[in-house]
Amino acid sequence: MDRSAFTIPCLALAVLGTLYASEQLTKSPPDDGKIHVKYWEKWTAFEFDAMKHVVDEFNKSQNKIRVDILSVSGIEDKTLMAVSGGIPPDVAGLYGPNVTQYADDHAVMQLDDMCREAGIKRDDYIAPYWDACVIRDHLYALPSTPATTALHYNRALFREVGLDPDKPPRTIDELNAMADKLTVIEKNGHVKRTGFMVTEPGWWNWAWGPFFGGKLWDGKGKITINSPENIKAFTWIQSFSKKYGASALSSFQNGFNNMFSSPQNPFMTGQTAMEIQGVWMYNFIQKFNPKLDWGAAPFPSASPDLQDPTVIDLDVLCIPKGAKHPKEAFEFLKFVESQKGLEMLCLGQKKITPLKKVSNGFIEHHPNPFIKLFIKLAYSKTAVSTPKLGIWSQYSDEINNAFSAVTLMTKTPKQALDDVANRMQPMLDKYMERLRVRGEQ
């Protein structure tokens, strides 16, 4: 079934029924003489509050438009269904990897002309964040809050085992050696503490290959997950299971499932000494263990030509197709995309800004002591982001399955990645043919 035709299956009808029934999502705006822009956002808690502050500032800045912001769970699916049913919001805050699927489904408006008229241009942005919003030479979204990842490490544990806390690992070999020194295995074989775990937090399993110089596809039509570079990365991943025991590491990891946002997070408790995490980790450290003596550094490199590997992550704002007030919605987007708007939002969420120009005040008032590092990493030549594929969700799932098979040692790295390639290549062939038939390839 071609979702681009906006045919609604039974599940979609059920979701739409929920949307129609929800007073919060569908209630009419008050008759106050203003144009009300309906804005759906995925955030909750302090992240939502940060954007609510920006919304309030916009509403106070003029008297013709009022943005009504609402926190919506499962926004990537609900927005698509709302577009299908003809009841979309005027603005939707999506995840960066959603943009390609929405563009493929013709579910979001192109913003090229409006941005050109408003003077919003690529040169103002750190390139990867702007480029993530461009699909087949058209702009479909704008960055809101971006992020990069780095190695977070426990300085106190470094000192405990005789490591210099001011000299974190710079290479994969150094990471391996330090992880060995920091890992504690009990006499019964149980893992008491890990120096480093590739499964913690396990959010970017697709990125390990690119960190080793691999690519996920050739950009034209071939899946390349089973390239020598990707196999090398997954061989390194499996080395931890071979060294410490697959079942022992699995049991250790299972003790922390669904505990990221809690005091039981293994990094907070000192049960994991090093891990890859995003700029947002500062927020959780401050909340759950503000006395933690920690540091952040570029993730170790797999080779001299792959320095400062990092994952480019971002949230985006778009105007769904069929929005009732696209002109007014874009006025709000212009406000958010200003230096004032983005710094207000990103400082409120304690992240970096997607703009090249950064005020002294943003840096001075930012509580994350490593904010300059995270900004610098956004310019890294080894920065990686998800591929622009409308089948990325399926591809990511397959990579996760391969990752599990490798860490549990049920398959060799080559077997696992060959299996992914064999399953995904026919799917990519169909996807590329669909784009070709539609004249969008």
For 307-360, how does the pLDDT look when each residue is reduced to its tens digit (9 = 90+)?
A: 999 999 999 999 999 999 999 999 999 999 999 999 999 999 999 999 999 999
Q: CATH 3.40.190.10 region(s) of the chain?
A: 3-146+314-379, 149-311+388-432
Whether 66 shows a pLDDT value over 60: the answer reads yes
Q: What letter would DSSP give residue 154? A: E
Assigned CATH class of 3-146+314-379: alpha beta
Question: Is the Cα torsion angle 47, 331, 333, 438 positive or negative in sign?
Answer: positive
Element at 159 (helix H, strand E): helix 155-160
pLDDT tens per residue, range 36-45: 999 999 999 9
d(CA 126, CA 337): 13
pTM tops 0.85, yes or no: yes
Residue with the larger pLDDT of the pair 12 and 78:
78
Whether 134 shows a pLDDT value over 60: the answer reads yes
- The residue whose two tokens read 């950009």 is 219
Fold held by 149-311+388-432:
D-Maltodextrin-Binding Protein; domain 2 (3.40.190)
Is the distance from CB of 248 to CB of 190 less than 8 angstroms?
Answer: yes
d(CA 158, CA 195): 10
Whether 26 shows a pLDDT value over 60: the answer reads no
Task: Give the model's pLDDT for residue 28.
Answer: 67
pLDDT band at 258 (very low <50, low <70, confident <90, very high): confident
- The residue whose two tokens read 């074989």 is 189
Mean pLDDT of 381-402: 97
The residue length of the chain stands at 441
Q: What angle do CA 390, 394, 399 make, to 5 degrees?
A: 120
- Cα Rg of the chain (Å, integer): 23
The residues with which 301 forms a beta bridge, in sequence order, are: 171
Task: Give the model's pLDDT for residue 426.
Answer: 98
Contacts of residue 125, Cβ cutoff 8 Å, sequence gap at least 6: 143, 354, 355, 356
Mean pLDDT of 254-282: 93
β 65-71/91-95 pair status:
unpaired
| Tokens of residue 335, six digits | 């406000």
Is the distance from CB of 320 to CB of 107 less than 8 angstroms?
Answer: yes
Mean pLDDT of 386-408: 97
Task: Give the model's pLDDT for residue 259.
Answer: 84
